[in-house]
């Protein structure tokens, strides 16, 4: 195991947003893990998973053991462990619960939201003392919270994945891509006898398309759009971008463009290249 994140803090302070980001960053995430199971489950999971994140908060029974649990984890995992505590002002939490259908998890134990928040603060006192990072989300929207966490956890991010898919429009649009670029307006090698049975990976097809007016410019245009999106995806904590390149049959032009883009982005990212409709 390389990284262990314990996420705790007040209900309504943004733990769900933070956990979603950690999942996007490649962490194996467990929400509301019973505190008595932490030391039993962790060794089993860590045998097969590098990055693990748990949410431990006042919803768990026996939460009074949090200091004991965190103390044991810090001794055992030392530099691999970070405890992140999310908090916010009472008025902000009250307002957030007013805009959601969810009730405060401790509301059944007291007769008002204000008292539930105060009770939770008392229960979480020990967790706060053991925290490595405390984030007040009172003035942060979900986007800003994600940005802050990305900045804090940047050193444990998994490598960004760029997925590139070539396809033929005649066989249907792919449903699992973020961007689709059409290359059907370039000459089709299918209509050249010597190229018809080849694919966009063949040197003769590459030479034909390299020498086609506008191809190099269009590759640069696609790159500019993708680079623009990549920067913002990374700022959001998202770790994957998928691109579809389509021509008529998915055999020549789309394959060529997909191969060219893959070559460009392999220099900086992990790239997964797939040619869906190559025969």
Give the pLDDT band of residue 155 (cuts 50, 70, 90). Answer: low
Beta strands in the chain (DSSP E): 3-9, 28-30, 51-55, 81-87, 133-136, 161-168, 179-182, 240-247, 270-275
Contact 77, 50 (CB under 8 A): no
What does the pLDDT read at residue 206?
95
Q: Please give the distance of CA 260 from its chain centroid, rounded to a whole number.
A: 26
Q: pTM for the complete prediction?
A: 0.63
* Residue 162 confidence (pLDDT) above 80: yes
Residues annotated in a binding site for ATP: 9-16
Fold of the 1-151 domain: Rossmann fold (3.40.50)
Let me know if 236 is exposed, middle or buried by CB neighbors in 10 A (0-12, 13-18, 19+): middle
Contact 56, 66 (CB under 8 A): yes
3-state secondary structure of 127: helix
Contact 277, 166 (CB under 8 A): yes
* Residue 156 confidence (pLDDT) above 80: no
CA dist 136 and 131 (Å) reads 13
Task: Name the phi and psi angles at 193, rounded to 5.
Answer: -50, -45
CA dist 69 and 39 (Å) reads 8
Across the beta sheet with 240-247, the strand order is 179-182, 240-247, 161-168, 270-275
pLDDT, tens only, 29-50: 999 888 888 888 888 888 888 8
Strands 3-9, 81-87: parallel, antiparallel or unpaired by DSSP? parallel
Higher pLDDT, 11 or 279: 11
Give the pLDDT band of residue 63 (cuts 50, 70, 90). Answer: confident
Q: What percent of the chain has pLDDT over 90?
A: 57
Residues of the chain with CATH 3.40.50.300: 1-151
Residues annotated in a binding site for GTP: 57-60
Cα-Cα-Cα-Cα dihedral of 216, 217, 222, 226, to 10°? 100
Let me know if 164 is exposed, middle or buried by CB neighbors in 10 A (0-12, 13-18, 19+): buried
Residues annotated in a binding site: 9-16, 57-60
The C-alpha angle with vertex 99 and arms to 118 and 34, in degrees rounded to 5, equals 50
Q: What is the mean pLDDT of the chain?
A: 90
């Amino acid at each position: 195991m390389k990284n262990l994140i314990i996420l705790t803090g007040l209900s309504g302070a943004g733990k769900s947003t933070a956990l979603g980001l950690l999942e996007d960053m490649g962490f194996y995430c467990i929400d509301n893990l019973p505190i008595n199971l932490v030391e039993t489950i962790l060794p089993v999971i860590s045998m097969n998973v590098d990055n693990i994140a748990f949410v431990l908060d006042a919803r768990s029974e026996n939460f009074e053991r949090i200091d004991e649990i965190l103390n044991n984890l810090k001794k055992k995992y030392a530099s691999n462990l970070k405890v992140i505590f999310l908090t916010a002002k009472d008025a902000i939490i009250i307002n957030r619960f007013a805009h959601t259908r969810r009730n405060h998890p401790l509301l059944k134990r007291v007769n008002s939201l204000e008292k539930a928040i105060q009770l939770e603060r008392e229960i979480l006192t020990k967790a706060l003392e053991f925290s490595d990072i405390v984030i007040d989300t009172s003035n942060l929207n979900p986007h800003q919270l994600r940005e802050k966490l990305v900045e804090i956890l940047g050193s444990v991010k998994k490598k960004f994945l760029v997925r590139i898919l070539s396809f033929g429009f005649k066989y249907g649009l792919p449903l699992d891509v973020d961007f689709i670029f059409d290359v059907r307006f370039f000459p089709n090698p299918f209509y050249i006898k010597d190229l018809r049975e080849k694919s966009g990976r063949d040197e003769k097809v590459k030479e034909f398309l390299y020498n086609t007016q506008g191809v190099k410019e269009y590759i640069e245009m696609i790159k500019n759009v993708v680079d623009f999106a990549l920067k913002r995806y990374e700022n959001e904590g998202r770790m994957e971008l998928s691109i579809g390149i389509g021509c008529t049959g998915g055999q020549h032009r789309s394959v060529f463009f997909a191969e060219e883009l893959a070559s460009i982005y392999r220099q900086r990212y992990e790239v997964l290249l797939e040619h869906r409709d190559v025969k």
